[in-house]
Amino acid sequence: MKKFNTIRRSLIAATLLGCCGLTSTTAVAQQQVPSKVDVAWNRFYDYEEVTQIVKDLVAAYPDLLSVESLGKSEQGRDLWVVTLNNPETGKAEDKPAMYIDGNVHGNEVQATETVLYAIWYLTKSYGEVEQLTDLVDRVAFYFVPSQNPDGRAEWFANPNTPRSARTGQRPTDNDYDGQLDEDGPEDLDGDGHITSMWKFDPNGRYRRNALDPRIIERVPEGEQGELSRLGSEGIDNDGDGRINEDGPGG
């Protein structure tokens, strides 16, 4: 059985490597090769900066990259798609394709940088890393760095909860009162974040963590708490008795 499992794992590894265009089952460390475009990968980029990085990459590698807009977002931002293909080995539409996108949810911003990094690394590795050169010669890549540029822009510009700026920013009547986006969160204490509001309550089900009082934890059954959750930070803008039930977007 142990021998069978070893063989099975080897076959799975070989299959995965084959799908990626690699012909060896030996892991290959990422090679450090120079790029024509300098990008710092220790930070996030807003929409304008993402657009500039895309344009810089296309300008630096015109024989491999092209960019076009799939259309406009609700707020008028271009939805960029970058095609990576070596035309000397065939048309993109005649090759197997790999589609990579990111930032479907506006608050999951790190995916955009991941897509940009893939473009950056594949282009700078072409002609330098044999396996990746072969891969780019055989496969056409299509990259959409951000599917939700409006949600991303909202996340950058305004205080948000962990769940807000997730959708697109088309005005929506979430609470079915005939108004659009009229009751979103407010940063009441001006700290740049939308957090939860709590009140002291001897019968509450929550308490501060003993090691880190910034953390609120639920008390185990049978133990006494000290806090009750009032809701997320904000006020009742439309007077319906609810808070933050109709924020920006859907």
Average pLDDT, the chain: 86
Domain ranges of the chain: 35-153
Q: Is 112:50 a contact under the CB 8 Å cutoff?
A: yes
- Specify the pLDDT at position 213: 92
Asked whether residue 136 carries a pLDDT value surpassing 60, the answer given is yes
Q: How far is CA 23 from the centre of its chain?
A: 31
Residue 29 pLDDT class (50, 70, 90 cuts):
low
Per-residue model confidence (pLDDT) at position 80: 98
Nearest to 74 by CA among 150, 179, 161: 150
* Residues 160 and 109 sit within 8 Å (Cβ to Cβ): no
Residue 24, pLDDT score? 47
pLDDT at 19 exceeding the cut of 50: no
Q: 18, 33, 55, 6: which is closest to 139 by C-alpha?
A: 18
At residue 161, the pLDDT reads 76
Mean per-residue pLDDT, 2-30? 43
At 183, the pLDDT band (50, 70, 90 cuts) reads confident
Q: What is the CA radius of gyration of the chain?
A: 25
Instruction: Work out the average pLDDT over 154-175.
Output: 82
In this structure, how many other beta carbons lie within 10 angstroms of the beta carbon of residue 89? 14
- 175 or 35: which leads in pLDDT: 35
Q: Which residue has the higher pLDDT, 2 or 224?
A: 224
- Closest by CA position to 223, among listed 240, 238, 210: 210
Q: What is the pLDDT of residue 176?
A: 85
Tens-digit pLDDT profile for residues 33-66: 889 999 999 999 999 999 999 999 999 999 999 9
Strand-pairing partners, residue 83, are 66, 142
Structure token pair of residue 157 = 């510009």
Q: Thinking of the domain 35-153, which architecture would CATH place it in? A: 3-Layer(aba) Sandwich (3.40)
pLDDT of residue 5: 39
- Asked if residues 50 and 116 have their Cβ atoms less than 8 Å apart, the reply is yes
% of the chain exceeding 70 in pLDDT: 87
- The DSSP code sequence of the chain is -HHHHHHHHHHHHHHHHHHTT---SS--PPP----SS---SSS---HHHHHHHHHHHHHH-TTTEEEEEEEE-TTS-EEEEEEE--GGG--GGGS-EEEEE--SSTT-THHHHHHHHHHHHHHHHTTTSHHHHHHHHH-EEEEES-S-HHHHHHHHHS---SSTT-S------TTSSS-SS-B----TT-SS---EEEEE-TT-SEEE-SS-TT-EEEPPTTS---EEEEEES---TTSSS-SSSB-S--
Higher local confidence (pLDDT), 188 or 208: 208
Predicted pLDDT at 1: 39
pLDDT score for 70: 95
Residue 9: predicted pLDDT: 39
pLDDT in tens, 65-109: 999 999 999 999 999 999 999 999 999 999 999 999 999 998 899
Per-residue pLDDT at 46:
95
Give the residue among 247, 210, 216, 213 at the shortest CA–CA distance from 229. Answer: 216
